[in-house]
Amino acid sequence: MNDLIINKGTVQAHLQVAEGVDKKNFKRFVYEAQYIDLRELMCEAFYNDLVSNYTDAIYQNLLVGGSYTFEGKTYYYEGLEIVLSYFAYARFITESNIQSTSFGMVRKNSQESERASQRELEAMAQKNTERALMLFKSTQLFLDRNEEIYTLWECSECDKPNNQNNIELWG
């Protein structure tokens, strides 16, 4: 888990995550956003190069987003940091208040507030996952229009995303 592209602070810059949320516990949501959600959106070669070299200047540009010119017009893209932030936040929403104890899994409760229902939390998580995918579209266009810089983006074995749901199990 040492090669995570973002952290709790990155997510907090874009979305509301309480300071009191444990960084170590939150790291799992970031890990799953990166290794499960983001990985499905790109081919394996590009993903591995990104994770291995995310501190390189070209990948820093891809992470933070910005503007670029294509065919004489200026376009804007959001970048992968915010995409990962929304994916991590979606995972955090549904699981953050459930804790493992020696007596089993428990949900923390507070007298000063009313807990959101599981249905509400799942709806919020789904909305944030959809937002992540929508934000990714502008970054995907940026990558498509800058293949000469991001040469692994359209690698030969990458006709389809690195989506494990496409695996046919029953021949």
Query: What is the model's pTM?
Result: 0.83
pLDDT digit string (tens) for 25-47?
Answer: 899 999 999 999 999 999 999 99
pLDDT band at 160 (very low <50, low <70, confident <90, very high): very low
Nearest to 89 by CA among 169, 168, 142, 18: 18
CA distance 131 to 78: 11
Give the pLDDT confidence of 64-91 residue by residue, as tens digits: 999 999 999 999 999 999 999 999 999 9
